[in-house]
Amino acid sequence: MVEANLTSQREAAEAPREADDPRDSLVVRFGPDKPLKLDAGVELSPFQIAYKTYGTLNAARTNAVLVCHALTGDQHVASDHPVTGKGGWWETMVGPGKPIDTERYFVICPNVVGGCMGTTGPASTNPKTDKPWGLEFPVVTVRDMVRAQAMLLDHLGIETLFSVVGGSMGGMQVLQWAASYPSRVFSVLPIACATRHSAQNIAFHEVGRQAIMADPEWRRGRYQLEGTFPRRGLSVARMGAHITYLSDAALHRKFGRKFQDRENPTFSFDADFEVESYLRHQGISFVERFDANSYLYLTRAMDYFDLAADCGGVLANAFKGTPTRFCVISFTSDWLFPTSESRAIVHALNASSARVSFAEIVTDKGHDAFLLDEPELFAIVRGFLDGAGNARGLARQNIAAKS
């Protein structure tokens, strides 16, 4: 445990470096001539987007797939993470021969605005002060994230996306793409998400934020300047959130009431139970790779997400006359973004006569199921993209990718 803490301290110190100068990533810098107009009413400029690509763009520029990451994800979707050294967060989904087949599609995965892995966020250096942004960073929304992604695509010369895919906060971006740029997206795959963040979800996020801000090391968001890091607060926030990503059944199956490396309770507040030990590990390993302020900003962005509110309160207006093909996916045991939320999306799409598929997958793995080994999820994503790819006239295997 002591060793783990030392590691996390070291890695936390590296965080600002990753935020300004990300390793193993491509970076586009947008100068003062191309500011990002934020919903908060201010402009972010200059700013940068860190991203990764996999596969090859075809000559017609029609095979690009945008993968949107979730709250604590990043651009390293299918390759090793530069900080943790672990494999990509969606390696099971993205790669050669995988459902999002990089031999057929050109995959782009950007880090979101407000993130901490190379796209401008609170951990980045504010060029005006030459210090980390911290809480001076403007509050961003999911729509801002998507606006920035559209600027990235303009920069890359990609007019239309073959598909936009993502789960959870990534799914929110997917829905925002479909609402903001219907003519730029041929198909979308929003997974385990909703068109608005529920009161319960906002409540969970608030607990996480309060845990961070209650940590004395947070220093009102100025920890980078003062050489501290709110490890305990961020770790507790992650522990709480992690419970919401699982399910009672999955926790019971995995841990039950089993003791951790002991036969009997110690009658103390050590991590007697396996589930406690697991959660502590989740918290500790999270602070190695994530910025605390970034966590505040991104949870806030999710809280503010309400697609219907942007369209006069009528969700169907968000998708009126949309030409985009939708495939909505939910999981039976996901209580953070339950199937009823996905059904609301489907109802709105039906009312717009949109071309929509909707599948609910039976699993006890909770919200996190979208990141895990779920053969039915893979079959559905593969089938949907195959069908859309044929309709789009994409070659089964990208010729350029073979050379």
Partner 1 sequence: MSNLTVSNIARTPGDARVDLVLMAEMIDRGARVLDVGCGDGELLRLLGESRDVDGRGIELSREGVNECVAKGLAVIQGDADTDLADYPDDAFDYVILSQTLQATRHPRVVLEHMLRIGRRAVVSFPNFGHWQVRLQLLFAGHMPQTDILPYSWYDTPNIHHCTIKDFRQLCEATGVKMEKGVALNAWGSPLRLNAPWWFWNLFGEQAVFLLSRKS
Please report, as ranges, the residues that interact with partner 1 according to CB under 8 A.
325, 327-328, 346-347, 350-351, 353, 355-362, 376, 379-380, 382-384, 386-388, 390
Environment class of 267 (CB within 10 Å of its CB; exposed 0-12, middle 13-18, buried 19+): exposed
Shortest distance, position 124 Cβ to partner 1, whole Å: 40
Catalytic residue among 235, 334, 352, 368: 334
d(CA 130, CA 200): 38
CB nearer partner 1, residue 186 or residue 290: 186
Catalytic residue among 25, 168, 285, 357: 168
Shortest distance, position 30 Cβ to partner 1, whole Å: 37
| Other CB atoms within 10 A of residue 151 CB | 18
| Other CB atoms within 10 A of residue 180 CB | 17
Shortest distance, position 374 Cβ to partner 1, whole Å: 11
Active site residue 367: yes
CB nearer partner 1, residue 120 or residue 352: 352
Shortest distance, position 319 Cβ to partner 1, whole Å: 12
User: At residue 331, what are phi and psi to the nearest 5 degrees?
Assistant: -125, 140
The strand pair at 94-95 and 43-44 is best described as: unpaired
| Other CB atoms within 10 A of residue 120 CB | 30
Q: Measured between alpha carbons, how far is residue 123 from residues 36, 117, 131, 178 in Å?
A: 18, 9, 9, 30
Active site residue 334: yes
CB nearer partner 1, residue 86 or residue 396: 396
Environment class of 222 (CB within 10 Å of its CB; exposed 0-12, middle 13-18, buried 19+): middle
CB nearer partner 1, residue 75 or residue 195: 195
Report the catalytic residues.
Answer: 168, 334, 367
